[in-house]
Amino acid sequence: MEVVNTVGRRKAAVARVFVKPGTGNITINQKELAVYFPLNILQYEVKQPLLVTETTESFDVVINLVGGGIKGQAEAARMGIARALCEINPEYRPVLKKNGFLTRDSREVERKKPGQPGARRKFQFSKR
């Protein structure tokens, strides 16, 4: 098996994921997972597809992350890894789909409107 290349997106974050057979190393933007995401919850989020399919020690993952914040980047990486695992072995698809890792969360930040301080917020009304 050669390298499998997929893309994951969330909010403004885009993750290009490269998965190949290996020993379980995860590298993000040329840094270790623990260095790039110091919070354990975000590390867990990135590893979730591998944990669910029990392939944590089977693949090396290289991820290029661009845009967004740390939460969006972690979720984009999770989606990219899940898509790559589906390409490698279609039997993983039902498990990943059931956990919601293959669904693109399309919620984006609503734009600010002119004449208002925010997207929905209005300036305080003054009668007199």
Q: What is the pLDDT of residues 61-78, one digit of tens each?
A: 999 999 999 999 999 999
- State residue 102's pLDDT score: 95
- State residue 40's pLDDT score: 96
| Banded model confidence at residue 49, pLDDT cuts 50, 70, 90 | very high
| Cα–Cα dist 49/82, whole Å | 5
87 assigned to some structural domain? yes
120 assigned to some structural domain? no
66 assigned to some structural domain? yes
Residue 23: give the domain boundaries: 4-98
26 assigned to some structural domain? yes
83 assigned to some structural domain? yes
Q: Tokens for 80?
A: 């990219």
| Banded model confidence at residue 119, pLDDT cuts 50, 70, 90 | very high
107 assigned to some structural domain? no
**How many structural domains does the chain have?**
1
pTM: 0.90
Contacts of 28 (CB under 8 A, 6+ apart): 36, 37, 46, 63, 64, 65, 77
* pLDDT over 90 (residue 25): yes
116 assigned to some structural domain? no
**Domain of 32: which CATH number?**
3.30.230.10
75 assigned to some structural domain? yes
78 close to 48: Cβ distance less than 8 angstroms:
yes
**Edge to edge, what strands does the sheet with 13-21 contain?**
4-10, 13-21, 59-66, 26-28, 31-32
- State residue 128's pLDDT score: 87
29 dihedral zone (left: phi>0; alpha: psi -120 to 50; beta): left
Average pLDDT of span 42-52? 95
Hunting for tokens 């301080």 — which residue is that? Answer: 117
CA-to-CA separations, 122 to 93, 111, 127, in angstroms, rounded: 45, 14, 15
